[in-house]
A and B are shown apart, each in its own frame.
Chain A
Amino acid sequence: MTKVFFATDLHGSEVCWRKFLNAPGFYGASVLILGGDMTGKALLPILRLEHHYEVMLQEHRYVLESEDEVQRMERRIAGHGYYSVRMSRDEVAELQANPGLVERVFQQQMRSTLEHWMALAKGKLGGTPVRCYVCPGNDDRPETDEVIVQSETVELAEGRVVEVDGVEMISTGWSNPTPWETYRECSEEQLTTRMAPMIAGLRDPGRAIFNLHCPPYASKLDEAPALDRELRPLQGGQLLRPVGSTAVRDAIMRYQPALSLHGHIHEARGVARLGRTLAINPGSSYEAGILQGTVIEIDARRGVSTYALVSG
């Protein structure tokens, strides 16, 4: 029996990543699986002025007088899952005028942060029997994979079949289209095509784990606030709508894997039974530094024996 800890959608939160790496000791898990969306969504310039620094965090202006204060603020910003960059007034103005430059700075920050995360993983997991699989999600740039591939302790799971203590697992972080036109989106047909070779490579899909970032359509694991054209939640966020993937649902219903793991929709934390498949979306509260996850005991022969959603 293998104890697996699965979490997803950390979105750059270093607090959550550190907790994720400590989960084996805390829950007694021997396998770590991280669903998609590792990288942060926001970039905060820390404005370098003549004698001090300034930064706006959560709509509050902080004046930082010393290097120590700046470093503490940088850690705090990282805790939220945001990236921070020290910049002059001119550099900030250049960023504001040039969206391409913003993308490049994001790219640099993501890479350096991920490299730091991989180093943390090496420190925590290196030399232990714990195996750690990561599959970037639709919000993660393609370069994310390059950093993970170079890690000695973290294995890239995207697009292949991996064996988790005798249980086969397929993974993809691609999703059906979203209003944000993110990096790994495709049509439902293309998603089916993307999953097909992995499924074909399974010895027994009925005993496998489908680690698919996007949740199955209309499973309650995919209910998100309905948005208007301006991306404003309708009716104060009370109006929920299924936004999952029909391709993912069809694959699950057709092959009936023992377990399917999902993320993508942070507020749709839950568990669903789709035929014989146990489908889980542990949700995400990364911005609060809470690591939502699920602890699962799974066996190659008997499938899932226990599971629990946790908030660590």
Chain B
Amino acid sequence: MSEATGYFVRRATGLVRAWSAFDAFIYAFFSVNFVTLGMYIMSFGPFVPQGHLLPAAIITGIFVTFLVVVYGGLIATMPRAGGDYVWQSRILGGGIAFVLAVTGWWFILWHWVPIYGNILSVQFFAPILATAGRGDLAQWFSTPAGIFVSSLVVVAFVAYYIAIGMERYAKIQKFCFWGGIVALGIVLLLLLIGTQGQFQQAFNREAARLFGASGDAYTQTIEASRKYGFTPPPFTAMPLGPSILLIPMVVFYLLWPNWGATLYGEVRGASDYRRVFKGMFWGLWITVALSVLFFLLVAKTMGWEFYQAANSNYWATIYTPDTAPKLAVPLWPYPALLAGWLVDSRVFQVILLAFMSLWFWGWSGTVFLSSTRVIFAAAFDRVLPEWAAQVSPRNHVPTGALLLMVVPSIVVSALYSYYPGFATYTLDATLVIAVTYVGSVVAATILPWRRPRLYQSSPVARYKVGGVPLLTLAGGVTLAFLAFNLWKWVTDDTYGVNNRQSAIYMLILYALALVIYLIARVVRARQGIDLAKIHAEIPVE
């Protein structure tokens, strides 16, 4: 039995008590975002016709758990560091860190803005306007002008979040979290108590009332899909091979439990590591569980074939408009919209959609927050000019970082909306962040040997499996998982990014980051600053 006691502390600044793991969970759960990202990417399921989302989500959850182990380890080893750029720069060096982090957390997030714009359009503007009887306006939001306007709304809101500061944004986030949870609970409840017959009736009623559809729109949707060439498989068919091919899509929402995770206060030990791990782990797995429940309820009430057919038909109108079937409901088949139709009340439906949009509003600020952190860190390291990290003394707004995000985001959003083919490049959005993750995971994997003092002083050093550091083991599994996804993205047509233009575009982004770093090295050297020494360790002896 142990006799050793813990430790004694004295009066000293920063000796905070452990925070609630539930708070960490909320942030991770919101970042994975079952509704905004999850429901959106699930609609791409028919692109792998024989695949099934349910096993894909579970398998992805298993592998992303290893990513959570890795990031939990990095966070506990270097608390308060703030993310990939700092971890990579301290373990791999400033140059690699800058190129990977700047591309993954700055440049590519310009491309997330029109993706967010598109999601806002299909999950907020279009369904609410259609429900309010303005089907014409709803459909306008799927036009180039509509998506561009939606993207501008995203930019405006996200810039506002940055401007008001973390304290107020965190409060907004918490409100959005609970509001969104209540709304999602209602959607799931409707799907639970509704029958398929009631849903068919509701769908046919609303399709006729809102869009003038005639006849059995529900059945027509499934038949139109078959005619188009996609025969939705039954829910019970879950072949493993094709389902695995859905993983590179499913990571669009399940890859982010570590987004923004950090650790404040003095590290007490393993319990801090476990707390960080638990927050991300449960954020991930509650989302996976929700996904499974959602799939089951969709299959029960909407009908899996209908859900898949509706998704297939919608995306056909976007990617193959010439051969696409005519839609009974010419909107993205937003599950919250469809479930809301089970209650024959306009007011209820609009309120439900408005509350469901809290999933979007509460989480959207992360698109610039992560970028702002990287821009600040790079400016403090003198790779970027000082003005990039400047904060207005009057209103405390980080004007430089906002400028570096807002202006390119608007340009990219315009190109996305108006320049045919540019949207393909935004499909690289997940890929590029995955590459940045690779950098951090490599850093974690080699940490025990690359920075032994740092590793040994961390609470994760005591975790080993068969003599191998847990961090290294989890890093190896995560690298294999990320490599699989990267390989599929760059070689398989299904994911839309395996083309020459996309590759060139991505390389340009990486080259731009490299050029900025090299210029900074030269300019700073002339000023007497050796950037190579910024992250180099001072000898101890």
Asked if A155 is an interface residue, CB under 8 A from chain B, the answer is no
Residues of B with C-beta under 8 A to A96: 5
Say whether, besides A56-B4, A79-B457, A103 and B10 are in contact (CB < 8 Å). Answer: yes
Chain A residues within 8 Å of B358, by CB: none
Question: How many residues of A are counted as interface, with CB atoms below 8 angstroms from the partner's CB atoms?
Answer: 92
A309 near B: Cβ within 8 Å?
yes
Q: Which residue of B has the minimal Cβ distance to A272?
A: B391
Chain A neighbourhood of B536, CB < 8 A: 26, 312
Determine the chain A residues whose CB is within 8 A of the CB of B24 once the complex forms.
236
Q: Does the CB pair A271–B389 fall under 8 Å?
A: yes
Interface stretch among B108-116, B268-276, B319-327?
Answer: B268-276
* A298 touches B (CB below 8 Å): no
Report B241-279 residues with CB < 8 Å from chain A CB: 260, 262-271, 279
Are A15 and B170 closer than 8 Å at their CB atoms? Answer: no
Docked Cα-Cα span, A307 to B391, in Å, equals 18
Could you mark each residue 177-211 of chain B with 1 if its beta carbon is under 8 Å from any beta carbon of chain A, else 0? 00000000000000000000000000000000000
Is A235 a contact of B393 with CB atoms below 8 Å?
A: no
Q: Pick from B11-19, B220-228, B405-413 the stretch touching chain A.
A: B11-19
One of B309-317, B333-341, B474-482, B525-533 at the interface = B525-533
Which of chain A's residues have a CB closer than 8 A to the CB of B386? 271, 273
Find out whether the CB atom of A309 lies under 8 angstroms from the CB atom of B381. yes
Q: Which residue of B lies closest to A17 (CB)?
A: B540
Alpha-carbon distance between A38 and B354 when the two chains are bound, in angstroms: 53
A 77-112 to B, binary, CB cutoff 8 A, 1 in contact else 0 = 001101000000100100110000011011000000
Instruction: Determine if B458 is an interface residue (Cβ-Cβ < 8 Å).
Output: yes
Asked if B13 and A264 make an inter-chain contact with CB atoms under 8 angstroms apart, the answer reads yes
B17 contacts which of A58, A76, A232, A271 (Cβ < 8 Å)?
A232
Q: Which of B3, B79, B379 contacts A47 (CB 8 A)?
A: B3
B61 to chain A, nearest CB (A): 21
Q: Is B270 a contact of A59 with CB atoms below 8 Å?
A: yes
Would you call B538 and A26 a contact (CB within 8 A)? yes
Which residue of chain B lies nearest to A106 when distances are taken between CB atoms in the complex?
Answer: B10
Asked if B537 and A312 make an inter-chain contact with CB atoms under 8 angstroms apart, the answer reads yes
Chain B residues within an 8 Å CB radius of A54: 2-4
A-contact 0/1 string along B458-471, CB 8 Å cutoff: 11001000000000
Task: Give a binary string over A239-265; 1 marks a CB under 8 Å from any B CB, 0 the rest.
Answer: 111000000000000000000000010
Chain A 23-52: CB-based contact to B (< 8 A → 1; otherwise 0): 100110000000001000111110101000
Cα A76 to Cα B376 in complex, Å, equals: 33
Classify the secondary structure of A's interface with B. Answer: mixed
A138 CB contacts on chain B under 8 angstroms: 13
A29 to chain B minimum Cβ distance, whole angstroms, is 11
Q: Write out the residue numbers on chain B whose beta carbons fall within 8 Å of the beta carbon of A183.
A: 11
Which residues of chain A are within 8 angstroms of B77 by Cβ–Cβ distance?
A: 288
Q: Are A237 and B264 in contact (CB under 8 A)?
A: yes
| Alpha-carbon distance between A22 and B541 when the two chains are bound, in angstroms | 8
B382 within 8 A of A: yes
B80 interface residue per 8 A CB criterion = yes
- A285, B78: Cβ atoms under 8 Å? yes
Q: How far is it, in angstroms, between the C-alpha of A150 and the C-alpha of B466 when the chains are bound? A: 52
Q: With A233-B19, A233-B264, A267-B264 in contact, is A238–B170 under 8 Å at CB? A: yes
A residues 279-302 with Cβ under 8 Å of B?
A: 283, 285, 287-291, 295, 297
Measuring CB to CB, which residues of chain B are less than 8 angstroms from any residue of chain A? 2-20, 23-24, 26-27, 77-81, 86, 89-90, 165-167, 170-171, 173-174, 260, 262-271, 279, 376, 379-382, 386, 389-391, 393, 396, 398, 453-454, 456-459, 462, 524, 527-529, 531, 533-541
Give me the 9 closest cross-chain CB pairs, A-B, nearest first: A58-B269, A59-B269, A312-B538, A236-B23, A237-B264, A54-B4, A236-B24, A41-B12, A239-B170
For this complex, 19 residue pairs linking A to B, each with C-beta atoms less than 8 Å apart, are: A41-B14, A44-B7, A56-B4, A56-B6, A58-B269, A58-B270, A103-B10, A220-B391, A225-B264, A231-B15, A232-B17, A233-B265, A238-B173, A239-B166, A272-B391, A306-B529, A309-B382, A311-B89, A312-B536
